[in-house]
Structure 1
Amino acid sequence: MNQPLRLLFAIGFLLSLHSSISQTPTQPEEKQISSSTGVWLGLYTKYHFNDKWAYYGEYHIRRRDGFEDMAQVYLRFGATYTIQRYLDFTAGVVLPFYWAPDQNDPNVDNVVPQYRLWQQAVLATPFEHIKVYHQLRTEQRWRRDYVKDSPYELTHRFRYKLTVYVPLNKPAFENHTLFVSLYNEIFIQAGKSIVYNHLEDNRSFVGLGYNLSEQFQIQGGYMFTFRHRGSPFDYEKRHIFRLSLYHHMDLHLNRHREERDIPIH
């Protein structure tokens, strides 16, 4: 091969190599972490029909950027079966509605629903002065992007939550008990569209609660979450104030108060 041809091949190879390198996406040297704030308001209900069966419901309004923008309306419904005194099982459906972050983008739907099935087991391990609960929850989620006409995809989520209640002004939990509420919850997701973000979220909460009566309880506090945002290096810290009201009622007359050892959440 003569010298001009060799030179042409060399130039062509270098141009091809440069094009390949320039098209390779660059990744940051370290993970990117953003921060946000929010307010979550919730109502939790549990209504017993008999000693074994109960209706379970959760209803949430979630705001982001403090209280400025709507984030979600979250509706969870289920039927609870008491397996034994310290163990409940619940299954049902969830219908959350998500508000797109950019409401002025003409290419997105401003509000997008999801469709879920869910199952949950709650195990109580009561001690003399505190209560500890283990919650294992699974969800099958049909969800899509905010972009218009995006297809729904099925993903799976697995959640474990450890909750501790410590009474402050009384030796046991009864009417007018002020207590500390602590929990940590880990979220793991799976599915065809989940490539590297299997550890979805970790939530920690600390707050105060008060038993208003046998049927009503209120809790408020601070929740910190650290979650994955969909890329290998993009994460978010969320600082969220939570205020929740709990309503627990027996719809039959033969159930004894001391038998209700499983919480309504």
Structure 2
Amino acid sequence: MKKIIFFLCFLFLSLSSQAQEITEESPAGLYDKEFRHSTGLWTGLYTKYRLTENLFYYGEYHFRRRTNFIEDMAQVYLRFGLTYLLNPRVEITAGVVTPFYWAPEQDLPNQDNIVPQYRLWQQLVLVQPFDRLKLYHQFRFEQRWRREYLEGSEFVLSNRFRYKITAYYPLNNYKLLNNTLFLSFYEEVFLQAGKRVTYDYLEDNRMFLGLGYKLNENIQFQAGYMWTFRYDGGPNNFEHRHIPRISVYHNLDFHRMRIEKQKEKIRVLENEF
């Protein structure tokens, strides 16, 4: 267990330090880079509700703030989809996303302070279990219709590809059972393409390290620190974001509930006769 924890922490710190190294200015001054650090607070609710044996409703609901962690609104982010379970280790999902973005500076002339965005999305998740460690490989594709904050600006289509590797490691149990405390780590890389995408094909890189607690089959909590590194409005401008994340995961199995109710009815009828 100690080796796994040490490896995840070492990976997180080493990748952060490598990103920090590229923030140094060039000796010649010809390609000087500018960097800024920002903060935020992201909270989210993740839902997964089983409807039939292989079909699930999937939802994400995010509330995000920025500037000194909580001063200003950043986004309200709503993701909906249907998931089909191909087998216990492979699932596919498709749906829609409707995020709303708050302008960094509010009430400027000729500006819409809150701008919507519309997306379609598709996802493939592969589960890779080990002895105790559990890995998830997430491949997500998004078609985004985005616009500027300027009043009357048009929506422009762009595409985004996301790959995320997530690791869960239980600390007080052998598996992720009820009442289990676990270590959580992920790294996610964002690539984009489209008419307005020029230099920032690598849109973002996010890393997260935190602790989670599985209360039971229906409720799970996670909290930790996320660091991201991305372009910031120009080819020589970059941003480091430092964001605490708090997430709640809620699962329900309506399919099993229906089966149990049917079995209960059968038992009642059998007892009557």
Q: Does TM, normalized by the shorter one, top 0.5? A: yes
Are 2:138 and 1:139 aligned? no
Q: Which residue of 1 aligns with 2:152?
A: 149
- 1:219/1:243 contact within 8 Å kept: yes
1:80 aligned counterpart, secondary structure: strand
Q: Which residue of 2 aligns with 1:54?
A: 56
Are 2:248 and 1:245 aligned? yes
- Return the offset for 1:254: 7.6
- CA deviation map 1:34-79 (0-9, x unaligned): 1100000000000001121000000000000111100000000000
User: Which whole-Å CA distance do the structure 2 matches of 1:182 and 1:80 have between them?
Assistant: 23
Letter in 2 for 1:133: Y
- Return the offset for 1:255: 10
- 2:140/2:162 contact within 8 Å kept: yes
Q: Which residue of 2 aligns with 1:37?
A: 39
2:129 aligned counterpart, secondary structure: coil
Identity %: 57
Are 2:125 and 1:122 aligned? yes
Match of 1:209 among 201, 208, 212: 212
Structure 1 or 2, whichever has the larger Rg, is 1
Change (3 A) 1:255 1:221: farther
- 1:197/1:230 contact within 8 Å kept: no
Change (3 A) 1:194 1:217: same
- CA deviation map 1:176-197 (0-9, x unaligned): 0000000000000001111111
Match of 1:86 among 76, 89, 93: 89
- 1:134/1:163 contact within 8 Å kept: yes
Letter in 2 for 1:161: K
- 2:31/2:236 contact within 8 Å kept: no
**Structure 1 residue ranges (4+ consecutive) displaced by more than 3 angstroms after TM superposition:** none
Structure 1: tracts of 5 or more residues without a match: 1-26, 257-265
- CA deviation map 1:144-185 (0-9, x unaligned): 111111111000000000000010011111000000000000
- 1:51/1:255 contact within 8 Å kept: no
Q: How does 1:158-177 map to 2 (within 5 A)?
A: 158-177=161-180
Q: Which residue of 1 aligns with 2:108?
A: 105
User: Which whole-Å CA distance do the structure 1 matches of 2:136 and 2:168 have between them?
Assistant: 9
User: Which whole-Å CA distance do the structure 2 matches of 1:161 and 1:197 have between them?
Assistant: 19
Letter in 1 for 2:255: H
2:223 aligned counterpart, secondary structure: strand
User: Which whole-Å CA distance do the structure 1 matches of 2:231 and 2:53 have between them?
Assistant: 41
User: Which whole-Å CA distance do the structure 1 matches of 2:258 and 2:165 have between them?
Assistant: 27
Equivalences, count: 230
* Higher helix proportion (structure 1 or 2): 2
Task: Report the aligned-residue RMSD.
Answer: 1.5
TM-score, normalization by structure 2:
0.82
User: Which whole-Å CA distance do the structure 2 matches of 1:70 and 1:141 have between them?
Assistant: 21
Are 2:235 and 1:228 aligned? no
- 2:210/2:225 contact within 8 Å kept: yes
User: Which whole-Å CA distance do the structure 2 matches of 1:76 and 1:95 have between them?
Assistant: 7
1:149 aligned counterpart, secondary structure: coil
- CA deviation map 1:214-235 (0-9, x unaligned): 1000000000000112311111
User: Which whole-Å CA distance do the structure 2 matches of 1:86 and 1:230 have between them?
Assistant: 39
Q: Which residue of 2 aligns with 1:178?
A: 181
- Return the offset for 1:100: 0.3
2:255 aligned counterpart, secondary structure: coil
